[in-house]
Chains A and B, each alone.
Chain A
Amino acid sequence: MSTEIDFPRWEVFTQIKPGANYIHAGTIHASDKKMALQNARDTYTRRGEGTSIWVVPSESIVASNPDDHEMLFDPSNDKIYRLPTFYVMPEGAKAI
């Protein structure tokens, strides 16, 4: 192949069953939205893993800088009262 194909990157999120959260599956290349959905389908749901797909241009993802880790996340470490671990779970509640 003489010319390099340089399609934009897209992040792929798949939903395993209706109502479940979309989970990041990986990254694909595509030139437009339709191609992105098809490429995501062909790359990440070949073994029946999904019921629905989201594709998002990678450039639209705003990511935090790992160097800011301490500033962003450490302050929550010693505040266990923010965790709902002191409640008694109702019997039969599964999806919590």
Chain B
Amino acid sequence: MTEQQALYNYCIHLGDNALIQSYRLSEWCSNAPILEEDLALTNMALDMTGRAQLLLQYAGTLAGKGLTSDDLAYRRNEPEYRNDLITELPDADFAFAMVKQMFVSTFEYFLYSALKASTDSNIASIAAKSVKEAQYHMAHTTDWVVRLGDGTDESNRRAQEAVDALWPYTAELFETDDTEAMLTAKGIAAELPLIHTRWQNYITGTMLAARLELPANAYHHTGGRKGIHTEYLGHILTEMQYLQRAYPDATW
């Protein structure tokens, strides 16, 4: 595999994570507990859409077939999607959404902090923009996780159930493969073990503040990077891609 193909895969992986998170966050539009939080979550969704657009656009350029970000977002099937499984899980309740976003945004904060120093200038500039967004997403969702965990009996129960359900999906965020190792060796991709340590420290601190416990189980789900997804991604794509599938090349 050439470096260009490896970089394409890397951009698709990060771009798909942003795109699918954007979809799940946008589902909260008009459904959040208060109006202000509704705005907060849709703001986040828009941040993710912007990031997905940049990454998929770059991937399209690397593919060199005149592919646009829209082509990549709306005309790939599930097995071609490379997002981590945690991003596609449906939100059981508000606590689930907050815990999930805190896990992922914390990962993205440390990831994009590292990628600011990427030797690929496009990745570095996307990271410089994304890290500011991720820092806010992390702060906002961390506050909610602490409020819910350290709140009432019911909010604590719901937050703990979310942690238990989501934990087995977190290890996938730190998986790497030969393709990525090639990029890491050249300083293009980030060193994930280092990021994993920082992430683990932050999460441990947050759980303590929130009176929540991390499960001890060792089993972890995986597959997103190979295109093996949960049943939920198909439902997401059915809705997200409907218009481009029904009316190919539609413009407005």
A→B interface (CB under 8 Å) = 1, 5, 7, 28-31, 34-35, 38-39, 42-43, 46
Contact = CB atoms under 8 A, between A and B. Distances in A.
Nearest to B144: A35
Nearest to A28: B36
B36 A1 contact: no
Given A35-B143, A38-B143, A46-B43, A30 B36 contact: yes
B43 A1 contact: no
Contacts of A43: 36, 39
22 contacts: A1-B33, A5-B33, A5-B34, A7-B34, A28-B36, A29-B34, A29-B35, A29-B36, A30-B36, A31-B147, A34-B143, A35-B143, A38-B40, A38-B139, A39-B39, A39-B40, A42-B36, A42-B40, A42-B43, A43-B39, A46-B39, A46-B43
Interface of B: 33-37, 39-40, 43, 139-140, 143, 147
A22 to B, nearest CB: 20
Contacts of B139: 38
A38 B37 CA distance: 9
Contacts of B33: 1, 5
A70 to B, nearest CB: 38
Q: Max chain A CB contacts within 10 Å: which of B33, B39, B139?
A: B39
Contacts of B39: 39, 42-43, 46
Q: Which DSSP category, helix, strand, loop or mixed, fits chain B's interface? A: helix
A36 to B, nearest CB: 9
Nearest to A1: B33
Q: Which DSSP category, helix, strand, loop or mixed, fits chain A's interface? A: mixed
A39 B144 CA distance: 12
Given A29-B36, A42-B39, A46-B43, 15 more contacts: A1-B33, A5-B33, A5-B34, A29-B34, A31-B147, A34-B143, A35-B143, A35-B147, A38-B140, A39-B36, A39-B37, A42-B40, A42-B43, A43-B36, A46-B39
Nearest to B151: A31
Contacts of B36: 28-30, 39, 42-43
Contacts of B34: 5, 7, 29
Contacts of A31: 147
A50 to B, nearest CB: 14
* Closest 4 pairs (CB-CB, A-B): A39-B36, A42-B40, A42-B39, A28-B36
Contacts of A46: 39, 43
Nearest to B44: A42
A28 B35 CA distance: 9
Contacts of B147: 31, 35
Contacts of A39: 36-37, 39-40
A1 B40 CA distance: 19
Nearest to A39: B36
Contacts of B37: 39
Nearest to B36: A39
